[in-house]
């Protein structure tokens, strides 16, 4: 996103870090939660799901498995045209809402 650097630190705090804390190495749970929210599996990272949030806005939720050198990592990614349809802060809100749904018990 064009203004993404401004939001990146805060956005990672309320999205990626929450996903990592919640799922850790439980990839089956991550996959189940994404499927429950109608995420479509895509080939990216060690596992990823595409969520069509709005007609022109899709969000990718990705994980990379941890190993003895690196901990697991989760990220929320937007298509490069997302900020054409919504301002960056609007995209951040959508990403945060999706994470909330994925973490809801």
Taking only the tens place, the pLDDT of each residue in 28-59 is 999 999 999 999 999 999 999 999 999 989 99
pTM: 0.86
Distance of alpha carbon 98 from alpha carbon 94, whole angstroms? 6
Give the burial string for 25-54 (b: 16+ CB within 10 Å, else e). Answer: eeeeebbebbeeeebeeeebbebbbbbebe
What's the rounded Cα separation, in Å, for the pair 41 and 90? 24
Average pLDDT over residues 77-94: 79
Count CB-CB contacts under 10 A for residue 92.
22
- pLDDT of 84 > 90? The answer is no
Helix axes 16-23, 27-36, angle to 10 degrees: 120
pLDDT at 2: 54
Domain residue extents for the chain: 4-103
């Amino acid at each position: 996103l064009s203004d993404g650097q401004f939001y990146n630190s805060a956005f990672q705090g309320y999205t990626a870090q929450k996903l990592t804390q919640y799922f850790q190495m439980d990839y089956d749970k991550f996959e189940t939660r994404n499927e429950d929210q109608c995420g479509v599996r895509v080939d990216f990272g060690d596992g990823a799901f595409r969520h069509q949030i709005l007609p022109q806005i899709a969000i990718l939720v990705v994980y990379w498995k941890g190993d003895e050198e690196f901990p697991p990592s989760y990220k929320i990614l937007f298509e490069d045209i997302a900020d054409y349809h919504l301002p960056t802060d609007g995209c951040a809100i959508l990403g945060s809402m999706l994470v909330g749904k994925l973490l809801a018990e």
